[in-house]
């Protein structure tokens, strides 16, 4: 695919605050780093999903709700508002750039980047993880998780070992997130719980 990177970047930049745009570039770059390890044939698509993952993150809550209505995104009474941007973002990006750019893989990468889901694809995992460990993140859990992953991946020789490192890192990330949500008294989305259980119980295999 011949992506117009300048158009994509300037569009996202115009919709985000400066700090958020920096994070966006960080995620796109980290998605590339992870892609080189796990999905070397999908580097451009990973970079694209990284650029688009938080495209609606800085929109006001009323705008998020308007977009949910517009795209037919179901809002259960329990859904934490923070989770809306992933779902509105996937739909908004698809509308803005067409399905040639935002195909179902990119769409789902954006859609599930905050909660994950049971049986998520490797592509979805890499966007989720890139978001968590990109260089600009200084929150302690992010620093710990980044080190956890890169310390282990160094010694992972075969793809089977690399996927086991990915599984352990994903499990650890959900454990950290869920612990924080409990400490803060927040609602935990079913997808977040199911993701944690999935990585606890399932050995990852390379798709194809």
Q: Residues in the site for Fe ion, rule: CB under 5 A?
A: 54, 131
Q: Site for ligand DGI (CB under 6 A): which residue of 21, 47, 49, 54?
A: 54
Burial 144-177 (b: 16+ CB within 10 A, else e): ebbebbeebbeebeeeeebbebbbebbbbbbebb
To ligand DGI, the closest distance from the beta carbon of 85 in angstroms equals 6
Query: Hunting for tokens 């789902």 — which residue is that?
Result: 108
Name residues contacting ligand DGI, limited to 100-119 (CB under 6 A). 113-115
Task: Check residue 186 for interaction with ligand DGI (CB under 6 A).
Answer: yes
| Cβ distance to ligand DGI smaller for residue 156 or 181 | 181
For 45-84, b/e burial (b = at least 16 CB within 10 A) is bbbbbbbbbbbbbebeeeebbebbeeeebeeeeeeeeebb
- Which residues between 132 and 171 bind ligand DGI (CB under 6 A)? none
Please give the Cα distance from 27 to 50 (Å, whole number): 5
Residue 3 near residue 48 (C-beta atoms within 8 A):
yes
Of 56, 169, 173, 192, which lies in the binding site for ligand DGI, with binding defined by CB under 6 A? Answer: 192
Residue placing its CB nearer to ligand DGI in the complex, 101 or 134:
134
Q: What is the DSSP code (8-state) at residue 189? A: -
Residue 188 binds ligand DGI, judged by CB under 6 A: yes
Verify binding: residue 79, ligand DGI, rule CB under 6 A.
no
- Taking the complex as a whole, how short is the minimal distance between the CB of residue 200 and ligand DGI, in angstroms? 16
Of 80 and 144, nearer to ligand DGI (C-beta) is: 80
Choice between 108 and 189, CB closer to ligand DGI: 189
d(CA 169, CA 187) in angstroms, rounded, equals 23
CA 110/CA 55 separation, integer angstroms:
9
- The helix (run of H) or strand (run of E) holding residue 168 is helix 159-183
Please work out the total of residues on this chain that contact ligand DGI, with binding judged by CB under 6 A. 17
By CB under 6 A, name the binding residues for ligand DGI: 23, 54, 57, 80, 82, 86, 113-115, 131, 177, 181, 186-189, 192
């Amino acid at each position: 695919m011949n992506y117009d990177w300048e158009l994509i970047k300037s569009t996202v930049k115009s919709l985000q605050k400066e700090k958020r745009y920096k994070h966006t570039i960080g995620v796109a770059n980290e998605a590339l780093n992870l892609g080189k390890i796990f999905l070397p044939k999908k580097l451009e698509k990973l970079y694209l999903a990284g650029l688009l993952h938080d495209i609606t993150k800085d929109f006001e809550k009323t705008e998020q709700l308007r977009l949910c209505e517009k795209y037919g995104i179901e809002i259960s009474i329990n859904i934490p508002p923070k989770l809306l941007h992933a779902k509105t973002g996937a739909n908004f990006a698809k509308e803005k750039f067409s399905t040639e750019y935002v195909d179902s893989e990119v769409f789902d990468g954006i859609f599930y980047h905050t909660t994950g889901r049971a049986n998520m694809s490797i592509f979805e995992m890499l966007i989720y993880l890139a978001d968590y460990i990109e260089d600009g993140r200084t929150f302690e859990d992010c620093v710990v998780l980044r080190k956890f992953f890169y310390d282990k991946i160094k010694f992972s020789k075969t793809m089977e070992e690399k996927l086991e490192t990915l599984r352990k890192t994903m499990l650890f990330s959900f454990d950290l997130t869920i612990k924080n949500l409990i400490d803060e008294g927040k609602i935990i989305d079913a997808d977040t719980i199911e993701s944690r259980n999935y990585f606890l119980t399932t050995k990852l295999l390379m798709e194809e």
